[in-house]
Amino acid sequence: MLVLGLETSCDETGVALYDSERGLLADALFSQVDLHRIYGGVVPELASRDHVKRMIPLIRQVMSEANVRSSDIDGIAYTAGPGLVGALLVGASCAQALAFGWNVPALGVHHMEGHLLAPMLEAQPPAFPFVALLVSGGHTQLVRVDGIGRYELLGESVDDAAGEAFDKTAKLLGLGYPGGPEIARLALQGTPGRFVFPRPMTDRPGLDFSFSGLKTFALNTWQKCQAAGDDGEATRSDIALAFQQAVVETLVIKCRRALKATGLKNLVIAGGVSANLSLRTSLEAMLQEAKGQVFYARPQFCTDNGAMIAYAGCQRLLAGQRPDGPGIGVQARWSMETLPAV
């Protein structure tokens, strides 16, 4: 089964072709970072307008790269939420229009399910069941995964998502957008131990997270240094490192707890923050000790992309799931636990 996947939930237009027999045939992405950079974050209306501009050329591009004609395509998968409603509507209407024209089903896919399944596109995919740590710009969740659509939420952030904390901390340090890669880059030059940030909510039981306090801690630290005239690149790097270490260690502690609580050995990390090298190596070290294994996608499939949507949609279409009707329904908020099992 050959599926065209469309991702437009935020500031990336992602298009891909996934075939259940041949794997990923083509994948193209247009990132709007340059468009939003001067605003220090995503401007929803600008994002929607840009998705309109990029969508059709990207679809033509992947079809030509994969040497695929419209009559070869068996179904379309598009991100139906969660995300920015205007942006989601671009992908949804494009998918429904093409589905009508090509006489194939267009299935709405949950963006976080896409992230969660992205490691399945790699050479050594994880097997169910496993614990998944979803860390993106909008979500921080620990989920027990028993199969596609069989999700049990174990814990989540009560305030900022991990990626959001990276972005906000980067902004207050005067770094660019998106902040995660900027902090990671600076942290490489930081001096370990100069600043020590708290590990929020690790001193009590449970699997929830709270990251908003870390950004305030970073702000206070930075302002103190600024007042003392110590506001150069070295101090920025030291703060970036202390912040990243705090986020990473907190995530590692909660992952270890989730694995213990579920009795599972395998951990999947997905979403933009799973591209973070320090997080990957720290989790690998923890899993080595616990005799388990950690799985993640290649960096370009950790952040938003069309391939994960094509893959997730293909699995659901293969299992016989079909859209309720030709309606263009998208959801800004959408719990993954409400998804049907396949």
Q: Which of 251, 304, 308, 336 binds ligand KG4 (CB under 6 A)?
A: 304
Least separation in angstroms between CB 271 and Zn ion:
6
Q: How many CA atoms lie within 13 A of 109 on its CB side?
A: 38
273 binds ligand KG4 (CB under 6 A): yes
Beta-carbon contacts of residue 38 (< 8 Å; ≥ 6 apart): none
Q: Which of ligand KG4, Zn ion, none binds 167 (CB below 5-8 Å, type-dependent)?
A: ligand KG4
**Distance in Å from the first CA to the final CA of the chain:** 16
Of the candidates 245, 276, 282, 315, which one interacts with ligand KG4 according to CB under 6 A? 276
Of 243, 294, 290, 249, nearest in space to 270 by CA: 294
Contact flag: residue 271 with ligand KG4 (CB under 6 A)? yes
* Residues 127, 37: Cα–Cα separation, whole Å: 39
Beta carbons within 10 angstroms of residue 158's beta carbon: 13
User: Does 136 participate in binding ligand KG4 (rule CB under 6 A)?
Assistant: yes
Report the C-alpha gap between 97 and 100 in whole angstroms. Answer: 5
What residues numbered 134-173 form the site for Zn ion, per CB under 5 A? Answer: 136
User: Is 179 a binder of ligand KG4 (CB under 6 A)?
Assistant: yes
Nearer to ligand KG4, 176 or 340 (CB): 176
**φ, ψ of residue 199 in degrees (nearest 5):** -110, 90
Position among 118, 154, 275, 307 found at the interface with ligand KG4 (CB under 6 A): 275
CB of 163 to ligand KG4, least distance (A): 3
Using CB under 6 A as the binding rule, whether residue 190 contacts ligand KG4 is answered as: no
Give CA–CA dist 117/28, Å, rounded: 18
Binding range to ligand KG4, per CB under 6 A, among 42-50, 116-124, 159-167, 249-257: 159-167
**3-class state of residue 135 by DSSP:** strand
Q: Site for ligand KG4 (CB under 6 A): which residue of 7, 113, 160, 167?
A: 167
276 assigned binding-site residue? yes
DSSP-derived pairing of the beta strands 106-110 and 75-81: parallel
Question: Cβ of residue 73: shortest distance to ligand KG4, in angstroms?
Answer: 26
Task: Determine phi and psi for 297, rounding to 5 degrees.
Answer: -85, 165
In whole angstroms, give the CA distance from residue 106 to residue 326: 8
Sites of contact with ligand KG4 (CB under 6 A): 10, 115, 136-138, 163, 166-167, 178-181, 184, 271-273, 275-276, 303-304
Q: Which residues are annotated as a binding site for substrate?
A: 134-138, 167, 180, 276
